[in-house]
Amino acid sequence: MTTSVARPAAVPSAEVPVPSRLSAHIDAVRVADLIAQLLVELGEDPAREGLIGTPDRVAAWWNAFLSSDGTASATRFTESQLSSQLVIVGGMSVWSLCEHHLLPMNLQVTAGYVPVGEVLGLSKFGRIARHFAGRLQVQERFTRQVAEYLTSVIGREDVAVAVRGVHLCMSMRGVRMKEASTTTVHTGGRFGTDTVLSQQFLTVAAGHWGTL
């Protein structure tokens, strides 16, 4: 894995507004109380030494997860490529929660677009991915939301987003396939009609995943 970042030689465009969050804050006291009740239902004693403070910590975690900065997620960039045709930003790794099981899923995101004049600031991609990861999700909807938001920001349909997800609900329960991953791809504009362009994008995306 390379940690160097080849930045496109373009000035980041104007500040990109990220849409407001569904749930900015939770009632932490109420959530902590509910967690304590859950522990009781699970046969635990919330007053025992190891669990003192657990309800508060869990409530604080939910608050952080649902907050706009996505502090529970990590984002990093390993590479970006810029040609006259295609910009690809990959190596973005965010954590979300599967809405079917409330278990974590790790989403490796690669986004591509065809710029006209301006190039979107690299850090924006990470913020956008974190934003849509910080809620109860399914991978397919996450992929579409990131793609649609990028499309609106860039103002063009030529956007592709590929996501490789590893879901703990698959790793821990059910089929227990530790290495199983799910890949989702959303293509728009030229990525849907130009097979060379889409193949270039998918090749680079697969390369990113191979190094993670």
Tell me the closest approach of the beta carbon of residue 104 to Zn ion, in angstroms: 10
Tell me the closest approach of the beta carbon of residue 99 to Zn ion, in angstroms: 8
Whose Cβ is closer to Zn ion: residue 163's or residue 204's?
163
Report how far Cα 102 is from the mean position of its chain's Cα atoms. 16
126-155 mask for Zn ion (x: CB under 5 A)? ------------------------------
Stretch that binds Zn ion, among 29-37, 41-49, 78-86, 91-99 (CB under 5 A): 91-99
The verdict on 98 binding Zn ion (CB under 5 A) reads: yes
8-13: Cβ within 8 A, 24+ apart: 8/80, 8/82, 8/87, 8/119, 8/122, 9/82, 10/82, 10/115, 10/118, 10/119, 11/118, 11/119, 12/119, 12/120, 12/121, 12/122, 12/123, 12/124, 13/118, 13/119, 13/120, 13/121
Size of the residue set binding Zn ion (CB under 5 A): 4
100, 102, 116, 174: which one binds Zn ion (CB under 5 A): 100
> By the criterion CB under 5 A, which residues form the site for Zn ion?
98, 100-101, 169
